[in-house]
Amino acid sequence: MTSLLNPFSVSIDPRSGDLAPDRNVQERHLSDMPRHYLDASARDDDPLVYAVHQIDVPATSSNLLSSTTTLYPGKVGLEYFMTKGHFHKVRDRAEIYYSLAGEGRLVMATEEGEVRVEEMRPGIANYVPGGWSHRSVNVGDSPLVFYAIYIADAGQDYATIEDKGFPVVIVDSGSGPTAVENPRFSRS
Ligand code: S6P
Ligand code: ZN
């Protein structure tokens, strides 16, 4: 018989995304994302783009995995700082994002290239249905912090996005954040 997990509680700092106790933190610098921005050579430094603080549980379909993401403000050329973005390995696994601080856009796309862009800001919960890849983008000038919850066996498929990209990219058009067609997007 599977043994039960013990109940636990975690404290979340909504401004920084830090957890207490903090367990598993993954940092992504610009150099970790060589194929994600249209013009990665637009910067010659290697800023920290985002950090993910994960509350680990066994990766089974009966557990809920959750994490905070702290996505820093900044740009690479005209593109705002963003996460790598992924499909779930188990494609039908859905996810909920709840924003705690900052202002962002959540770009979602199906494998057929259907795309949706939703606002992220404190008080908004975004529902990412199964089958939709997802990437968050910080369009403000302070950290975008959100809490994500999903079925723990979902896994992440990063390769599909690295190869094909998203159908749109979010750029600073001069009059604010704008979704424009991604010239490098390739349909399956
Ligand atoms: C996991 C969930 C988030 C992201 C995080 C970083 O399914 O969607 O916790 O992992 O926002 O994004 P990425 O695309 O680098 O995993
Ligand atoms: Zn996800």
Q: Is 156 left (phi over 0), alpha (psi -120 to 50) or beta?
A: beta
Task: Please report the pLDDT score of residue 186 as a whole number.
Answer: 85
What separation, in Å, do the N-terminal and C-terminal C-alpha atoms of the chain show?
A: 43
Q: Which atom of ligand 1 is nearest to the CA of 67?
A: 9
Q: Whose CA is nearest to atom 15 of ligand 1?
A: 84
Q: Whose CA is nearest to atom 6 of ligand 1?
A: 83
- Ligand 2 geometric centre to CA of 157 (Å): 9
**CA nearest 12: which of 27, 28, 4, 23?**
23
Structure-token pair, residue 2 = 């599977």
- On the question of pLDDT at 1 being above 70, the answer is no
- Ligand 2 geometric centre to CA of 104 (Å): 16
Report yes or no: 76 and 95 within 8 Å, Cβ to Cβ. Answer: no
Q: What is the pLDDT of residues 30-72, one digit of tens each?
A: 999 999 999 989 999 999 999 999 999 999 999 999 999 999 9
Task: Please report the pLDDT score of residue 144 as a whole number.
Answer: 99
Cβ(52) to ligand 1 under 6 A?
A: yes
Q: Which atom of ligand 1 is nearest to the CA of 135?
A: 14
Task: Please report the pLDDT score of residue 126 as a whole number.
Answer: 99
Cβ(66) to ligand 1 under 6 A?
A: no
Q: Which atom of ligand 1 is nearest to the CA of 71?
A: 11
Task: Please report the pLDDT score of residue 187 as a whole number.
Answer: 75
Q: Please state, in angstroms and rounded to a whole number, the distance separating the CA atoms of residues 75 and 161.
A: 20
Cβ(54) to ligand 1 under 6 A?
A: no
DSSP for the chain reads: -PPPPPP---EE-TTT--EES--EEEEEEGGG-TTTSTTGGG-SS--EEEEEEEE----STTSEEEEEEEE---EETTEEPB---BEESSTT--EEEEEEES-EEEEEE-TT--EEEEEE-TT-EEEE-TT-EEEEEE-SSS-EEEEEEEETT--EE-HHHHHH--SEEEEE-SSSEEEEE-TT----
Cβ(104) to ligand 1 under 6 A?
A: no
Q: What is the pLDDT of residues 116-175, one digit of tens each?
A: 999 999 999 999 999 999 999 999 999 999 999 999 999 999 999 999 999 999 999 999
- Ligand 1 geometric centre to CA of 36 (Å): 14
- Ligand 1 geometric centre to CA of 85 (Å): 7
Task: Please report the pLDDT score of residue 119 as a whole number.
Answer: 98
Task: Please report the pLDDT score of residue 188 as a whole number.
Answer: 66
Q: Which atom of ligand 1 is nearest to the CA of 28?
A: 15
